[in-house]
Amino acid sequence: MLGNLEMKDTNWEEEFDSVHISKQDLNKIVMNYLLVEGYKSAAEKFNQEAGMATSPDDPHNMSGLSGYSLIEERRSIRILIQEGKIV
């Protein structure tokens, strides 16, 4: 519904205040960020401290998050792209 919709600052704040995000969803968002950006140790620590039910590498993980094992692959690919070796 965003298309050509223009929202004034006050409307945005009202909309923001009316949205409820569960702690579980917020934890998934934070974990996804840590994994995508390659912060493996931070993701492992966050998973432990947040008491998330499963880790991203657990085969029963239903969160849709990529596992810790993919972090190094993503990091390697990112470096190759930045060095111009992958276009």
- 18-72 residue pLDDT tens: 888 899 889 989 988 888 888 888 988 998 899 886 666 665 554 555 567 778 8
Q: What is the pLDDT of residue 87?
A: 76
| Alpha carbons 60 and 19: distance in angstroms, whole number | 30
State the Cα–Cα distance between residues 36 and 65, nearest whole angstrom. Answer: 9
Report the helix count and the strand count for the chain, using DSSP H and E: 4, 0
Is residue 68 within 8 Å of residue 44, measured between CB atoms? Answer: yes
Yes or no: say if 57 and 69 are a contact pair by the CB < 8 Å rule: yes
Q: Provide CB contacts within 8 A for 25, sequence distance 6+.
A: none
CA dist 67 → 9, 49, 50 (Å): 38, 17, 17
